[in-house]
Amino acid sequence: MPAELDTQTAANVAATTRDWVRAVYPGSGLTVEPEHLEQVFAAIVDELLNLAQSEPFPVPAARAIGRRLAEAPFDRTRMLAPATRALLGFAPGEPGSLVATRWPFVASHAIDSYAEALQQRALAQQERNLTAAVSVRVQEIAALQNRLRHEATHDALTDLANRSLLQERVRVMATDHTRGVGLLLIDLDDFKQINDGYGHSVGDEVLVEISRRLRAACPDETVVCRYGGDEFVLALPARRNTVAEVAMRVLTALHDPVPTDAGPVPVSASVGTAFSPPGRPCDFSDLLRSADRAMYSAKTAGKRQFALSELGDSDGEPGGYGAARLDYDAAVAG
């Protein structure tokens, strides 16, 4: 049974489909009315929304819907770019809700499948015509497919993983019963003062440089995610002591000021860590919540340091993490 859309989401769907038809209909050679095209595309968006609200994540169903975009009445339209902008630019539900979190993955799988269908059709045409032009088109579609997949799962400013990719990678890590899952939540100290004092463009420079340092400081298997404005999350397959080692690397990486167009900008961070042992059910929300509590423990203790916790720690006072806390300056001094 399709889920009933709230008023705002329904209005957004209507606006998205209307704008999409206006972009693809002129010069398409279609014989169907634009209103019919809107109805068919809106039905596809509704189906994808229903998938985005379901568990477990239905990849085959999303890909099957995407393949329909290469069939009648869409088969005569050149709409890969407009459809991509329409679906990936659509933001349903409240921020942080299940549908808002899963929509980029559902939409990107549909677009990915649509691109594959176009590629297969182009390959069939190539076999018939043996023309160099079709071969170039196949390469363009493949390149666009890779770019769209990347854009759907990465932050635009820093090119780090976004929340959807982070959660998917943590789910995969949890299937490895030989190692646990380590999570580090990094909150930049007083970042609002950087934006207010230097301007947002300098703030962006700082975020980009911090992203580069985090990538350089982490083991190869680490997923580095920009989770929010000035929050980063690291996830990695780990053993218990590895998480503390990575936290020390992060503190060291943030020791030096960031060079910007406005001059060097001092930076520091408070870091909270969480660890889910191997073979134990690993829920991403619980793991993040545990790391968040530890991060606030480090921040209330004076910032520029990290605190350790393990999934399942009590929700006690921040001081409960004292034994695992390491001062920032001590970490840098080695």
The per-residue pLDDT for range 114-158, each reduced to its tens digit, is 888 888 887 776 677 666 666 777 788 888 888 888 888 899 999
Domain parsing of the chain, residue ranges: 7-153, 163-333
Q: What is the pLDDT, as a whole number, of residue 233?
A: 97
Q: What is the pLDDT, as a whole number, of residue 86?
A: 83
Each residue of 88-117: pLDDT tens digit? Answer: 888 887 777 778 888 888 888 888 888 888
Q: What is the pLDDT, as a whole number, of residue 334?
A: 41
DSSP 66-96: HHGGGSTTSTT---HHHHHHHHHT---SSTT
In terms of residues, how long is the chain?
334
Alpha helices in 130-256 (DSSP H): 132-153, 163-173, 191-198, 200-217, 240-253
- Residues of the chain with pLDDT below 70 are 1-5, 55-57, 75-78, 125-126, 129-134, 310-334
For 238, 278, 280, the CA distances from 178, given in Å and listed in that order, are 9, 6, 11
Give, as one character, the DSSP assignment of residue 154: B
Q: What is the pLDDT, as a whole number, of residue 147?
A: 86
Domain with residues 163-333, CATH architecture: 2-Layer Sandwich (3.30)
Contact indicator for 51, 61 with CB cutoff of 8 Å: yes
Phi then psi dihedrals of residue 312, to 5 deg: 110, -5
Q: Find, among 91, 254, 232, the residue nearest to 166 by Cα.
A: 232
Return the amino acid letter for 50. Answer: N
Q: What is the pLDDT, as a whole number, of residue 310?
A: 56
Q: What is the pLDDT, as a whole number, of residue 235?
A: 96
b/e code 77-111 from CB counts within 10 Å (16+ = b): bebbebbbebbbebebbeeeeebbbbbbbbbbbbb
